[in-house]
Amino acid sequence: IKRLAQNPPKIKRGVLNKKVEEAKKLAAYAAVDYHVKDNQIVGIGSGSTIVHVVKRLAERVRKENLNVFCVPTSFQTRLLIQDIGLMVIDLNRHLEIDVAIDGADEVDSELNLIKGGCGCLTQEKIVASCAKSFIVIADYRKDSSALGEQWKKGIPVEVIPMAYVPVSRAIQSQFGGSADLRMAVSKAGPVVTDNGNFLLDWRFDQEHNWSAVNTTIKMMPGVVDTGLFINLAERVYFGMEDGTVKIR
């Protein structure tokens, strides 16, 4: 008892992390195996679940001798793709993406998403919107009936640096809640996106019409994009705790 009392968080976190990591991997493998085919242009999202997508893709390219061309959604993903030896291509030269695969912070029953936990929402939305199919992968913790039920960190909004205070005030006065500047873990300054912008995290305190909210926030001067992905996802793969994959 004494020994357990000294170490409980470590033991619990270790088991949880392993389960969650396994769930991410299951979802990623299922999506890559079903949706990626030879000679395709594939959009690759950002975040920790995407690491499994890149690994599986590289494995299939090697074993099946596939030609796959990847469009990354962040600097992190570009490096991952390059380091593992997959081919990177430029969206402006290849406008039509066959399939884009990305993670999410939360998915509701209608496949609306909150994204941008890692701050890459703008490039992710561009790539998703250029894809014939946009497929989402997530572990079981992201499965929700209504946005905000599971994900408590709010909806990210990418803003031009000079506008973060006016945008934060406008969001709060129109929709309530609090829209706070995302700070670096060191607290030395704000998080800066790959596009050189800041992020607000809007913690809302009631349910909204998310499509209307998304449009209204996007119209605010200084807003680049929001982490609300409405009517974009075609299918979601959830890796479950029991080792199965749930498809929505």
- Closest-CA residue to 213 (of 155, 166, 128): 155
Whether residue 157 contacts residue 177, with contact meaning beta carbons closer than 8 Å, is answered with no
Whose Cβ is closer to ligand 5RP: residue 61's or residue 104's?
A: 104
Whether residue 121 contacts residue 85, with contact meaning beta carbons closer than 8 Å, is answered with no
Whose Cβ is closer to ligand 5RP: residue 115's or residue 182's?
A: 115
Least Å from the CB of residue 53 to ligand 5RP: 10
Whether residue 200 contacts residue 157, with contact meaning beta carbons closer than 8 Å, is answered with yes
Catalytic member of 21, 64, 106, 124: 124
Least Å from the CB of residue 207 to ligand 5RP: 21
Least Å from the CB of residue 23 to ligand 5RP: 11
Report the alpha-carbon distance of residue 246 to residue 240 in Å, rounded. 7
Least Å from the CB of residue 227 to ligand 5RP: 7
The amino acid present at 14, given as its one-letter code, is G
Least Å from the CB of residue 244 to ligand 5RP: 19
Residue bearing tokens 């998403």: 113
Whose Cβ is closer to ligand 5RP: residue 116's or residue 222's?
A: 116
The answer to whether 124 is a known catalytic residue is yes
Whose Cβ is closer to ligand 5RP: residue 66's or residue 126's?
A: 126
Taking the CA of residue 247 as centre, how many other CA atoms within 13 Å lie in the half-sphere pointing to its CB? 8
- Closest-CA residue to 248 (of 153, 97, 142): 142
* Pairing mode of beta strands 131-139, 235-239: parallel
Whose Cβ is closer to ligand 5RP: residue 28's or residue 41's?
A: 28
HEC string of 90-156 equals CCCCCCCEEEEEECCCEECCCCCEECCCCCCHHHHHHHHHCEEEEEEEEEHHHECCCCCCCCCCCEE
Q: Catalog residues that contact ligand 5RP under the rule CB under 6 A.
A: 45-49, 102-105, 115-121, 124
Q: Which residues are catalytic?
A: 124
